[in-house]
Structure 1
Amino acid sequence: MGEQETDAAVARARLRLLAAEFTTPRATRRAAAGRRTPTTAPREPINLDILDHLTKSTREIVDYTREVVPDADPPPATAEGIYGWMVKLTPHLDVDRQMVRDAIIHRQALEHAIAMGDKDVIRYEECPGCTCWSLFWRYGEDQAACVNRYCADQLGRPSLWTLQQIAEHYVDVKYAARKAAT
């Protein structure tokens, strides 16, 4: 299994978990002892933000694949097969476009984990600035902060990185290692 397939498998597994666990109808809790005032509007049966995230992620994969392979086969009916479909149709691309593809897959894998509430996934990513393992997710800012004091800006504030920047750095390191091995 190649590196692209491994990264795609991680993204696929996270997407499957996100779709299975976070878009199923929520269980309603029964009222505790005593009376409770009923609400006038019912709750959404699923988390609509997650549903929007899944739709946006799938659309991005389909759009990029169709951009680089205009005569591509139709995408799979299920969202889980979308990453394998993308990798299968794009092995012939030049290195720059393969790097863009891999960065999209890696970024989306991170987004899926964060959407599920797994903010610790950022700690396993290398900082694009200092290449250390000191990234922490900043709640509410949708960015990771490097807490290495040598990676701070001139005012002593931590350097901030978007998921796109982290994914691009990950892919750059992966392709540099592959190039050095040949």
Structure 2
Amino acid sequence: MDSGDINAADGLRLLRTAYLAPSGTRHTGRRTATATEAQAPIRLEVYDYMADAVREAVETTKELRAGQEATAPPPAEAEDVYRWMVEETAHLDEERQKARDTLIYRQGLEHAILMGDHKVVRPHPCRRCHTYGLHWDRDNEVAACLNRRCADSHGEPTTWTLKEIARHYINRRTRAAVRAT
């Protein structure tokens, strides 16, 4: 699986091993009431996120195959779902493979951002001004271009979703591969 510098499978593996367990209690220095119930043994928001990512990958694979039966069932391990997805869609036309690669790349970006690596959007150019000024906006969950010449008439930055960034990246990579041959 060639997904560039973002590896979605490694991201899921790291989420499962390092981020799924609770981080423990944070000592704020203030007195607090004693907990009456034990903390959940895992971080439920990370578990739900991982389940949703795997579910989306499996459902997208089925949609891309357009009703054809899968040759193998989805794997039991979450991080193996991307390898399975590539194997199940390898025979499809270029557009469907680009849709698959876009999903894998987008989820890799999402995994990195969930783990706190907001710098993953910086190597991508803004599609409007073509500069490398993207930064992650946590509040709006979009990448914002900080080039002031790229701002709209109200001074608001141009924003891009992770899906748009992934689609643009895959299209650029595909064009570069065509030019190289």
TM-score, length basis structure 2: 0.87
**Map of 2:48 onto structure 1:** 52
Alpha-carbon offset, residue 36 of structure 1: 6.4
In structure 1, the residue corresponding to 2:85 is in which secondary structure? helix
**Map of 2:125 onto structure 1:** 126
User: What percentage of residue pairs aligned between the two structures are identical?
Assistant: 43
The one-character-per-residue Cα deviations of 1:16-51 (angstroms, maximum 9, x if unpaired) are: 001111112544579x9xx86412233222211111
In structure 2, the residue corresponding to 1:16 is in which secondary structure? helix
Say if 2:126 and 2:132, in contact at 8 Å, map to a contact too.
yes
In structure 2, the residue corresponding to 1:5 is in which secondary structure? coil
Say if 2:6 and 2:105, in contact at 8 Å, map to a contact too.
no
Q: More helix by proportion, 1 or 2?
A: 1
Alpha-carbon offset, residue 56 of structure 1: 0.6
Q: Residue 13 in 1 paired to residue 13 in 2?
A: no
**Map of 2:175 onto structure 1:** 176
Alpha-carbon offset, residue 82 of structure 1: 0.7
In structure 1, the residue corresponding to 2:136 is in which secondary structure? strand
When the two chains are superposed, the root-mean-square deviation of aligned CA atoms in Å is: 2.4
**Structure 1 unaligned residues grouped into runs of 5+:** none
Q: Residue 24 in 1 paired to residue 21 in 2?
A: yes
Distance in 1, Cα, partners of 2:152 & 2:120: 24
Say if 2:3 and 2:105, in contact at 8 Å, map to a contact too.
no
Q: Residue 75 in 1 paired to residue 71 in 2?
A: no
More divergent stretch after superposition (65-74 vs 78-87): 65-74
In structure 2, the residue corresponding to 1:137 is in which secondary structure? strand
**Map of 1:156 onto structure 2:** 155
Q: Residue 98 in 1 paired to residue 97 in 2?
A: yes
Code of the aligned partner of 1:90: T
Size of the aligned set, in residue pairs, is 178
Distance in 1, Cα, partners of 2:117 & 2:6: 18
**Structure 2 unaligned residues grouped into runs of 5+:** none
TM-score, length basis structure 1: 0.87
